[in-house]
Structure 1
Amino acid sequence: MLKKNTVLFFLVFIFLYECFLCSVKSIELDDITRTVQLDDSGEQVVLTAKQIYRGKRLFNNSCAQCHNGGITKTNPNVGLDLETLSLATPSRDSVLNLVDYMKDPTDYDGQYYIFERHPSIKSANIFPKMRNLTDEDLFAIAGHILVQAKTDSTRWGGGKIYY
């Protein structure tokens, strides 16, 4: 009985934390923090708190298994920090470029398509979590990645030292 109560308490705690503290954190972000690069032209977009929270939830559900904390478990040399994203070919440091990557991924140098190894919309038959993601969902996930890279720049993509 005690074990059941402990598990129940833990689940309620996690639920309340996610509902109240995480959403408050994203709401408290100012416009400058929520502003990210939209595309390669330098155009920027200000994300809403709702988009950032939704992106976080979708990222945790669809991407965090391999990219927890902005790392890449299959290749620790390639993280989701802004510097690494900007040095990829094509660069992935903008919302639309990340959306394009999530639809049809290529390797870091942009030479080979890797949709059979990396979850994407193109490989949704192999990776079921990608099946129901809309363009709006991908936009929110990309926004979350870029905002995390700005707000948690030391830890995001930092690897084992932090996670």
Structure 2
Amino acid sequence: MIKKKIHLLLCLIALTLFSNAFIVSTNAIELDEATRTVTLDSSSKTITLTPEQVKRGKRLFNNSCAQCHNGGITKTDPNIGLELESLSLATPARDNIANLIDYMKDPMSYDGKNSIAELHPSIKSAEIFPKMRNLTDEDLLSMAGYILIQPRVVQEKWGGGKIYY
């Protein structure tokens, strides 16, 4: 009787260890270094984000930006999304970390001619948009990095609009 219980217990432990190992390997999607490497500034320097920065960027983006930019779209203007093509065509181009951070601090219209800080959440308008109040430069870097790696992670779904989200 005791041998059967021990055998059963050992089988359960082995099954638990096997299933935990399988679950961890399928749920832990680690982004490789190439995926986490994005353009830092207009000079084409690059930066490799840490996995922690990407996770933090995702959390901060979902908390501060996803209400209007879920899936990389722009609900108020579906013609301008957060995919790299739209970001690169803005003035100045917003397809790098430095320029995205500048935008999150003081947003300008797509043509770069007018401030839209009263309409778009930003550090400059934090009194109007409380979610922006406590964001640090490191937070903004993480959010910008998250935005820039999404086209590599979810491909055409990022900024793809209604057909995907």
Q: State the distance in 2 between where 1:141 and 1:24 align.
A: 21
What is aligned with 2:37? 35
Aligned-pair identity (%)? 67
Contact (CA 8 Å) 1:36, 1:94: kept in 2 or not?
Answer: yes
What is aligned with 2:99? 97
Task: After TM superposition, give the deviation of residue 153 of structure 1 in Å.
Answer: 2.1
What is aligned with 2:113? 111
Structure 2 spans left out of the alignment, 5+ residues: 1-23
CA offsets, 1:48-90, max 9 Å, x none?
Answer: 0000000000000000000000000000000000011001000
Structure 1 spans left out of the alignment, 5+ residues: 1-19
| Paired amino acid for 1:24 | A
Task: After TM superposition, give the deviation of residue 92 of structure 1 in Å.
Answer: 0.3
State how many pairs are aligned.
Answer: 142
Off by >4 Å, runs of 4+ in structure 1: none
Q: State the distance in 1 between where 2:103 and 2:143 align.
A: 12
User: 3-state SS of the aligned residue for 1:154?
Assistant: helix
What is the TM-score when the length of structure 2 is the normalising length? 0.83
Match of 1:80 among 70, 82, 85: 82
Match of 1:24 among 21, 28, 36: 28
CA offsets, 1:3-40, max 9 Å, x none?
Answer: xxxxxxxxxxxxxxxxx89x822xx1111111000000
What is the TM-score when the length of structure 1 is the normalising length? 0.84
What is aligned with 1:56? 58
| Paired amino acid for 1:62 | S
User: 3-state SS of the aligned residue for 1:149?
Assistant: helix
Q: State the distance in 2 between where 1:149 and 1:125 align.
A: 32
